[in-house]
A = this chain, B = another copy of it.
Amino acid sequence: MRLTALALLLVLPALRADEGMWTFDNLPIKKIQAKYGWAPGQAWLDHVRLAAVRFPGGSGSFVSKDGLVLTNHHVGHHWTQVVSDAQHDYVKNGFVAATRDQEIKVPGLALFTLLEMENVTDQIEKAVPAGADEQAAAKAKAAELAELVKEQGAKTGLDCQPVTLYQGGQVWIYRYKKHTDVRLVMSPEYGVAAFGKDWDNFSWPRHDLDFSLFRVYENGKPYAPAHHLAWTGKGVSYGDLTFTVGHPGNTSRLETLAQMEAKRDVTNPMAIRTLDRMRSSLHAFAALGEEQSRLVSDQLMGIENAYKVVVGETDGLRDKVAMARVAEAEKELRAKVEGDPKLKAAASSSWTKIEEAVAQLKVMAKEASLMGALRSETLGSAVSLHRYATEMQKPAEQRTPQYQDEKAFTALKTRLMAVKPTDAGQESFTLLNVMIGAQQELGAEHAITQMLLGGKTPEAATKELLSGSRLGDAALRKALVEGDPKAILEHSDPALVLARKLSPKLDEIRKRQQGFQSVVSENLTRIAKARFAVYGTSTYPDATFTLRLSYGAVETYPLSGTLAQPFTTFAGLYDRAAAWGPKAEEGSWELPARWVERRDKLNLFTPYNFISSNDIIGGNSGSPVVDKKGELVGLAFDGNIESNAGRYYFDARLNRCLSVDARAIVEALDKVYDAKHLVAELTRKN
């Protein structure tokens, strides 16, 4: 990549800056039309929006009139695990319901479809009494919004959710239909859905059959959605216009340069080190045996993913060309703010204030990072219990709000009593990690390190704490929470003793951190408001895990000295499996038996995965990729490694969305899974 990218760029076709995660009420129709000679109309937009589905943390779409829902295997991973047990590992071995009777109800899974959106900004603003100061105004607006949400919920029977866009520039209520009877229909084996395992995550060329199928039921019968996406007939080609419809989680494209630089130089490198320690210890734990490996596989996948994300982000923040563009945009906005007396008064000093607060946060970054590192169940619950006891010593009216609201207080106590079941081995790895992290980041001489280790080695300190503490005992926890809180403050359990020492120090750090963060946050809102005043809805709001549309095209990018191939095929899948063999790197490129056996049944040159220039980010996983006809041509499942800087900026040269080709899904269902009934349902013409 690197320099070569620059070189290859010279001969690349004209760049297409398909930036933007657009809300459905505000699409750059003219821009799309001008560039692609076609733009969606209202019927098209309504159709794809109403076919879209929100999963927990991801996206999906209705793909049949009988409520069949398509999403990624990795979005469905957790839910497939939920319906698995020791005898039926549907994640590893895959699952196909041969009939509707066999479809498995997934407890706890709820899906949402966005039926209506209403801009309530004016209404909210009107609720502010004349002459109210800023704080009173905010309070009035919040109350009005809560009231509206409640009122609309009661009136429509829909799940109403407030949505703040443009950092407060617009307030909406999105009204969703909530589906709670969702059943697993089909899921391929993990080994082909995530071929190349963690190694291949974010890489391209890719060979992942990253899809799974669920079905929504209502009243015990398949749900009939008003809209579903028709399956493509001929598929998508190089250069074709594509749209993704999904729920990008969050972006920070409006952060200031000072914030991005602090991430690049201080907090991201630290996060990388922390993840690296966690990863190493989980790998070591997984190496102990098959059961240990199963226990942490999900967690490890999350960490490997987070690791690549933060490494990719950091890499992006180090890209001089792209960051110069970010700096340029900031300079332009600052100039416009300076040029407008009202904006100048409101936000001119905000960049400097953020810069100063960020400088302070950089100084205390290592200490602050330890907060999030208290992941040990034992130590974490001890600190929570200690905080509870301390709070209870105060007069009732001085306690934090959580203690003053009956419902919240009950919930808190329930949480404190709930003993999270953890494997003792895993817990010791986690705590050891905290100890080593303190030693390495803060140094042996730091007060926190000395409290944690008590002069011992990290291994000895961990062993002593875990063998001595009885906080994993549910009866003890119950007794502590229901008894006199003073007992907690005097208890001899070594975890509580340690929490007693640590807490004042942790509280002090937290308070300092929150102080600087509130300066950052307040000034960022001021900048955002100024930005909205200058640019309005000519731009798109930062992602908020609400429905967005991105447009783009199937398009190459400079990769490793050449141009990235726009598609892969099943032949590429088998090529890589053959290149590595089933044993290399712990079977990362080993194909499931069914795939080995049925190779010659497949048309090997069926398009499998493809890349496009759509602007997506985490949360978009499972987004349908649709063409001009509104037909489903693909299923977005990842970004390339270069797109990890997408949190901060969109780089048209390099950011690519990775999708499973719709043609591969039916080819596999047909030839590998003998699921002709599903092929028929997906490709049915109505």
Interface of A with B (CB < 8 Å)?
Answer: 1-4, 7, 10-11, 196, 199-204, 238, 272, 276, 280, 283, 307-308, 311-312, 314-315, 318, 559-563, 565-569, 571-572, 574-576, 578-581, 584-585, 589, 604-605, 607, 640-641
Contact = CB atoms under 8 A, between A and B. Distances in A.
A201 B560 CA distance: 10
Given A311-B7, A568-B575, A203 B560 contact: yes
A560 B560 CA distance: 7
B580 A566 contact: yes
A303 to B, nearest CB: 12
B560 A272 contact: no
Given A568-B575, A575-B572, A561 B2 contact: no
24 contacts: A1-B1, A2-B315, A4-B311, A4-B312, A7-B307, A10-B280, A196-B562, A199-B563, A201-B561, A203-B560, A204-B560, A238-B581, A308-B561, A559-B560, A563-B585, A566-B584, A568-B579, A569-B578, A571-B571, A572-B576, A572-B579, A574-B604, A575-B605, A578-B607
Contact of A579 (B11, B566, B589): B566
A567 B589 CA distance: 13
Contact of A576 (B1, B203, B238, B565): B565
Contacts of A581: 238
A641 B572 contact: no
Contacts of A585: 563
Nearest to A206: B562
A3 B318 contact: yes
A276 to B, nearest CB: 7
A604 B571 contact: yes
Most central of A4, A314, A566, A568 by chain B CB within 10 Å: A4
Contacts of A576: 565, 572
A559 B640 CA distance: 12
Nearest to A238: B584
Nearest to A196: B562
B605 A574 contact: yes
Nearest to A200: B562
Given A7-B272, A571-B574, A580 B1 contact: no
Closest 8 CB pairs of A and B: A561-B641, A572-B575, A203-B562, A203-B561, A565-B579, A571-B575, A567-B579, A3-B315
